[in-house]
Amino acid sequence: MTITCPSSLTLSNAQAVLRDFRVAFAQVAAVDKGWALDLGPLEHFDSSALAVLIDCRRQAQAAGQRLMIKDAPHALVELALVYGVTELIDVDPDSSP
C-alpha cells in the first residue's frame, strides 16, 4: 500500500503530517507488509520534510518493514545530499523525477 504525501511539508505542518503518516502506517501494518511513501505531490518543503522521512524510516524499521520512497522531488534529494542523510531515508539520487 502506498501513502501519499501532501503537496506541502514544512515546519508549519510537519507534526500534523507525521501524525497522519503514523496513523496510516499503523493501518497499513495490519493489512500489508510493504510500506511505500509517494512524494510525487510534494511541491513545497523544507528540511522538516527530511526529519519526517527519517522518523518514518525509524517506524518502518521498528515494525520490521522497509520504507520505499517513491518519486522524491529532485530538490528534496539534493537537500538530503547536502545534509548527508540520503542513506537514512533510502532515496536514490538517480530515481527522482
Over residues 19-36, the pLDDT tens digits come to 999 999 888 776 766 788
Where residue 58 sits, what CATH number does that domain have? 3.30.750.24
Mean pLDDT rounded to a whole number for the chain: 88
pLDDT digits over 55-67, tens only? Answer: 999 998 888 888 8
**What pairs with residue 45 in β-bridges?**
9
Question: Is 41 inside a domain boundary?
Answer: yes
* Nearest in space to 25 (alpha carbons), one of 44, 8, 5, 10: 5
Q: What is the pTM of this model?
A: 0.88
76 and 45 Cβ atoms separated by less than 8 Å: yes
pLDDT band for position 97 (50/70/90)?
A: low
Strands 2-4 and 8-9: unpaired
The C-alpha R_g of the chain, in whole angstroms, comes to 12
Distance CA 5, CA 62 (A): 21
Question: Is 7 inside a domain boundary?
Answer: yes
Residue-range definition of the domain harbouring residue 23? 2-89
